């Protein structure tokens, strides 16, 4: 059995109850065959055994009191996966589907994503099975305070710097930051995605969605094309989806569909983003509202329609893992879609990815395509350390530069290793090499 196959088989045994982690690890390990099979340095150093085992996992109880005075208990996680190239860095997800497997897959992906940004950040992820939906602001605050009352001892501006993810936006970061500060009595850049005026960076809110569009734009431009006149389908209607839509529209595209966990809307003449922002960011309501406001839009609930059913030129999955399946990939290909770029983490299943690649569709994996969020978090950390703040234009220009750089490093790596146009292999190899070098240099 080859070194890689051995590692995969060990993960399948030791982490048997963690399907999402196994899926993410397999995808990366498969890409690494090209380098690991012909150079035994990695095997001799036990490098892959180390890479797939988090440096530290913290799991903890999060008790809080709801508005009715009842005690509720959730489970908290922080997986500090790799500090090879910098302090652990990665978001916190609050969603009822959160398990150790989900947090481990996200932390693992984050190692290579952060490496691709070129900034000195290790990989980590955390979260809770707490569901902010339907909770009052006070309940969310009490939960966040309790969560941070344990988490604070494991993090720090030079140790581990969490940020947002699904279910964690400006409101949650604010409550967690306030609690951290009360406990440690220090105003430091321990979280990113902070509010403007108390350490946050301009353009961090927009960064993931904008970055996603910037990397696709660079690809299109290099092929003599652009977003102008393109039909774009976007899943999700949260932070990433909204700002991807905003940037794509500003470049002349028409965003024809968006979704949430209950269903999707199709609005052929173009989604009205002000309505989406009002429903999702202000009122925190369901997407069904959109079709009540815009009578020419069509709403389908999850049981009778998917965002990938509608013909588009570019598909941007921006909701959650495993939301673009093989049958969706087939539909997208059949209806003429030419580019799929992942705003979410691992939204495309392995078989769907294979299918898209086999059809010559340009496929940008999340660890490259959605790296703009964490890259701008890295810029927020730099501003915090230097105690200054850059303008929106400065941060946006740096973000664009980083995304263009990521496009070229994954494109170059794909070519160098004999798989031109395969950005999955390009991203995995380019992300891995820097982390592996650091691990070899630093010893076991
Ligand atoms: P938000 O919480 O702002 O939005 C999430 C969106 O996805 C909502 O529309 C939500 O619908 C939908 N969604 C969530 N879970 C599911 C599910 N199980 N099934 C169907 N739809 C679902 O999160 P973000 O926009 O921040 O994150 C979206 C994705 O992008 C995630 O994969 C995240 O890991 C990734 N990402 C985020 C970054 C960031 O900076 N925020 C950076 C890089 C990646 P509903 O409202 O119904 O819950
Ligand atoms: O998946 C991700 O990259 C994020 N949720 C952002 C992480 C961060 O630290 O900004």
- Tell me, what's the pLDDT at 97? 98
52-91 pLDDT tens trace: 999 999 999 999 999 999 999 999 999 999 999 999 999 9
- The pLDDT tens digits for 159-185 are 999 999 999 999 999 999 999 999 999
* Structural domain contains residue 197: no
The rounded Å distance from CA 78 to ligand 1 centre is: 19
Are 179 and 256 within one domain?
A: no
Q: Residue 418 and residue 188: Cα distance in Å, rounded?
A: 45
In angstroms, rounded to a whole number, what is the distance separating the alpha carbons of residues 132 and 238? 14
Nearest protein Cα to ligand 1, atom 30: 344
Residue 334 has pLDDT above 90, yes or no: yes
Residues 182 and 212 in one domain: no
CATH of the domain at 279: 3.40.50.720
Segment 281-307, tens digit of pLDDT? 999 999 999 999 999 999 999 988 899
Q: What is the pLDDT of residue 79?
A: 99
If asked whether residues 128 and 250 sit together in one domain, one would say no
Residue 85 lies in a domain: yes
The yes-or-no answer on residue 228 being catalytic is no
What's the pLDDT score for residue 254? Answer: 98
177, 257: one domain: no
Distance in Å, CA 318 to ligand 1 centroid: 6
345 and 252, same structural domain?
yes
Q: Quick one: pLDDT band at residue 335, thresholds 50, 70, 90?
A: very high
- Shared domain check, 269 and 183: no
- Residue 173 is predicted with a pLDDT of 98
Burial class (CB in 10 A: 0-12, 13-18, 19+), 444: exposed
What is the arithmetic mean of pLDDT over 20-28?
98
pLDDT at position 91 is: 98
Mean pLDDT of 404-428: 98
Query: What is the layout of strands, in order, in the sheet containing 160-163?
Result: 56-65, 71-82, 123-128, 88-94, 160-163
Q: What is the CATH number of the domain that holds 149?
A: 3.40.50.10860
Contact 405, 116 (CB under 8 A): no
Question: Ligand 1: distance of its center to the CA of 319 in Å?
Answer: 4
The per-residue pLDDT for 438 is 98
CA 169, CA 438: separation in Å to the nearest integer? 32
Catalytic residue among 89, 104, 113, 125: 125
pLDDT the model gives residue 303:
87
Domain count, the chain: 2
Q: Which residues line ligand 1 (CB under 6 A)?
A: 95, 97, 164-167, 169, 208, 236-241, 260-262, 318-320, 323, 343-345, 370, 373
210-231, pLDDT tens digit by residue? 999 999 999 999 999 999 999 9
Segments forming the whole domain that contains residue 273: 206-369
Q: How many CA atoms lie within 13 A of 1 on its CB side?
A: 8
Please indicate, yes or no, whether residues 175 and 285 belong to a single structural domain of this protein: no
User: What are the CB-based long-range contacts (under 8 Å, 24+) for 33-41?
Assistant: 33/2, 33/4, 34/417, 34/418, 34/419, 34/425, 34/429, 35/417, 35/429, 35/432, 35/433, 36/3, 36/4, 37/2, 37/3, 37/4, 40/3, 41/440
* Structure-token pair, residue 248: 């794509």
């Amino acid at each position: 059995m080859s070194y890689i196959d051995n590692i995969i088989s060990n993960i399948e045994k030791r982490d048997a109850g963690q399907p999402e982690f196994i899926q993410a690890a397999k995808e990366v390990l498969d890409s690494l065959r090209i380098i690991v099979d012909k150079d035994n340095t990695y095997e001799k150093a036990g490098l892959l055994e180390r890479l797939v085992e988090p440096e530290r996992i913290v799991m903890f109880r999060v008790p809080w009191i709801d508005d009715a005075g009842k005690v509720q208990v959730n489970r908290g996680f922080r997986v500090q996966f790799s500090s090879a190239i910098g302090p652990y860095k990665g978001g916190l997800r609050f969603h009822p589907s959160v398990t150790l497997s989900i947090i481990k897959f996200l932390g693992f992906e984050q190692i290579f994503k952060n490496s691709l940004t070129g900034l000195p950040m290790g990989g980590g992820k955390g979260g809770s099975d707490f569901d902010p939906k339907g909770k009052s602001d006070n309940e969310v605050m009490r939960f966040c305070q309790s969560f941070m009352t344990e988490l604070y001892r494991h993090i720090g501006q030079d140790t581990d710097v969490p940020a947002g993810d699904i279910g964690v936006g400006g409101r949650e970061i604010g409550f967690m930051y306030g609690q951290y500060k009360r406990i440690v009595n220090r105003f430091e850049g321990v979280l990113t995605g902070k509010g403007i005026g108390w350490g946050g960076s301009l353009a961090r809110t927009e960064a993931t969605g904008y970055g996603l569009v910037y990397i696709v734009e660079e690809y299109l431009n290099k092929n003599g094309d652009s977003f102008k006149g393109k039909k774009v389908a976007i899943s999700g209607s949260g932070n990433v989806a909204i700002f991807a839509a905003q940037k794509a529209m500003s470049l002349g595209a028409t965003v024809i569909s968006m979704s949430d966990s209950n269903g999707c809307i199709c609005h052929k003449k173009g989604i009205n983003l002000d309505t989406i922002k009002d429903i999702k960011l202000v009122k925190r309501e369901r997407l069904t509202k959109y079709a009540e406001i815009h009578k020419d839009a069509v709403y389908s609930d999850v049981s009778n329609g998917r965002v990938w059913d509608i013909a588009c030129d570019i598909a941007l999955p921006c909701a959650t893992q495993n939301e673009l399946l093989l049958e969706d990939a087939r539909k997208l290909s059949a209806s003429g879609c030419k580019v799929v770029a992942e705003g979410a983490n691992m939204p495309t299943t392995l078989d769907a990815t294979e299918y898209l690649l086999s059809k010559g569709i340009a496929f940008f994996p999340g660890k490259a395509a959605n790296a703009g969020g964490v890259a701008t978090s890295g810029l927020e950390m730099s501003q915090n350390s230097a105690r200054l703040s850059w303008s929106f234009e400065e941060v946006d220009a740096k973000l664009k530069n980083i995304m263009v750089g990521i496009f070229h490093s994954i494109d170059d790596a794909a070519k160098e290793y004999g798989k031109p146009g395969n950005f999955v292999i390009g991203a995995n190899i380019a992300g891995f090499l820097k982390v592996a070098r650091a691990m070899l240099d630093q010893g076991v």
